Amino acid sequence: MENLKEIVLSVLFIAGEGVEKNFIAEKLNVSESEIDKVIEQLKKEYNNEKGIHVITFKNKVQLASNPAYAEYISTVLNPIREKSLTRAALETLAIIAYKQPITKLEIEDIRRVNCDYAVQVLSDQNMIEVVGRKDAVGKPLLFGTTENFLKRFNLNDLAELPDYDSLLERIRVIEEDELPKSDSLYNEFSLPEEEVPDFLKEETGIENVSGDDAIA
């Protein structure tokens, strides 16, 4: 296949997680040995001083940051992740809260954009976690909310989830200079109408998901 190396690199970039080599080979209609050859080429090209490395594990291949630059990555990204939840992260969190357990691809099907960064931010802030794997091709990861999510929004359990609009009204984009003096992060606020995504306004018939149901 022409440009196979570039195609595989693009797939790994968008996937944002490990992808089984035989699955890539099957979908691209090439042999697994061809995929192995391409992966070795990518490793030789990237696994040096470049910021992105190609790693393999358990018959899977994934793009990862160069561990040599981990300190710099944390210096730049951690303050951003800790400072606030962006609109993209809020939308992603709302989807996970109501649709869990849910895969990243299913989230992206709803939002119609790549959600790698939003999922990573929510994971880093311990708002979501991996709760299992879906019984489907590739065994994609399933995400659900954490106890920290419940604490953040002053909920006892998932059965207390309000409708989408009410949840968004209770979600707070926490800026460093807005942190309350007490240990409570649950002060209510109102999002401007234009900040409420259309798909959240239109959603109906949401089912509550119990903690036990969140494990596949």
| Domains of the chain, CATH where assigned | 4-65 (1.10.10.10), 71-214 (1.10.10.10)
Cα 180-182-186 angle, rounded to 5 deg: 65
d(CA 103, CA 165): 23
Segments of the chain with pLDDT less than 50: 172-216
- What pLDDT is recorded for position 73? 80
Q: What is the DSSP letter of 214?
A: G
Give the tokens for residue 159. 């059965």
- What pLDDT is recorded for position 138? 84
- What pLDDT is recorded for position 84? 63
Give the tokens for residue 95. 């989807």
- What pLDDT is recorded for position 106? 92
- What pLDDT is recorded for position 124? 86
- What pLDDT is recorded for position 165? 67
- What pLDDT is recorded for position 81? 54
Residue 128: strand, helix, or coil: strand
- What pLDDT is recorded for position 115? 87
Q: Classify the C-alpha dihedral 167-92-197-159 as positive or negative.
A: negative
